[in-house]
Amino acid sequence: MREFWERASCGEELYLNGRDRSGYERQARIRYELEPFIPGFARFNEARGKRALEIGVGLGADHQRFAEAGAILYGIDLTQRAVTVTEHRLSQFGLKSNLDVGDAESLRYPDSYFDVVYSWGVVHHSPDTPRAISEVWRVLKSGGVARIMIYHKHSMVGYMLWVRYALLRFHPTMTLAEIYARYLESPGTKAYSVEETRHLFQSFTRVEISTQLTHGDLLTSSAGQRHRGFALSAARLIWPRALIRRFFPGHGLFMLITATK
């Protein structure tokens, strides 16, 4: 799994075409155009003056926002590649963070250390996701808030991949869990139902969960090129986006969790 992310950080090949300020700005602009709900969920500005940890910084766009907001900032990623690019990114903008290679499943911080823990699209890639969530709980102060995005099992992306790799290849018994593990991103990627997520976060005192339709569910971006081919191109042309928005708003790939310790 680490090898998968060492080859290229998330979005690096598609959206990062230069390692200077303008390259990073362009990548961030595309990121927030494709996923405009991130700032509203992450609430970067609320981290001002607070001790905040981001798990899985990737290319560091959100990390930069936390740094600009004035958080007392810490960040980890499983890969040196992501830590190096995020360090470089922050240095280009004169920003600071305590960045380290680290594993969500065994955080090197004391108990009750952070006011905020943020993680976007990371812990579902970790082999023992419940352990990563219990680490988030451990390092949060009482009353501290975790804002975490993981994948939602009952999503249009999952259904599309199932049609492509299970139905059309005559493996109709293949489960959605197998589909996510084999065809979405890093091998072993997981996705959860809302009920399973409630269970994962049961040690928190308050948990709010919502799902979000994404550019992947709506086929509005060039992401998903791994699955390119005639079927995907044809689907893009006829995809019933308005119907999906109206009748399946709860079938988005992203599950946004705000959990208070």
Ligand X SMILES: C[S@@+](CC[C@H](N)C(=O)[O-])C[C@H]1O[C@@H](n2cnc3c(N)ncnc32)[C@H](O)[C@@H]1O
- Which residues here bind ligand X, judged by CB under 6 A? 5, 9-11, 55-56, 58-59, 76-79, 82, 103-105, 120-122, 125-126
Minimum distance from residue 196 beta carbon to ligand X (Å): 19
Residue nearest to ligand X (CB): 58
Residue placing its CB nearer to ligand X in the complex, 115 or 135: 135
Q: Give, to the nearest 10 degrees, the angle between helix 21-34 and helix 80-92.
A: 110
Minimum distance from residue 187 beta carbon to ligand X (Å): 12
Residue placing its CB nearer to ligand X in the complex, 83 or 166: 83
Residue placing its CB nearer to ligand X in the complex, 220 or 239: 220
Minimum distance from residue 139 beta carbon to ligand X (Å): 13
Q: Residue 123 in contact with residue 56, Cβ under 8 Å?
A: yes
Minimum distance from residue 3 beta carbon to ligand X (Å): 10
89 Ramachandran zone, left/alpha/beta (phi>0; psi -120 to 50): alpha
Tokens of 158: 């999952």
Q: Following CA atoms 175, 179, 181, 182 in sequence, which dihedral angle do they give, to the nearest 10 degrees? A: 130
Residue placing its CB nearer to ligand X in the complex, 146 or 166: 146
Residue placing its CB nearer to ligand X in the complex, 76 or 116: 76
Residue 102 vs residues 12, 23, 249: alpha-carbon distances, Å:
20, 26, 35
Q: Residue 121 in contact with residue 217, Cβ under 8 Å?
A: no
Minimum distance from residue 254 beta carbon to ligand X (Å): 10
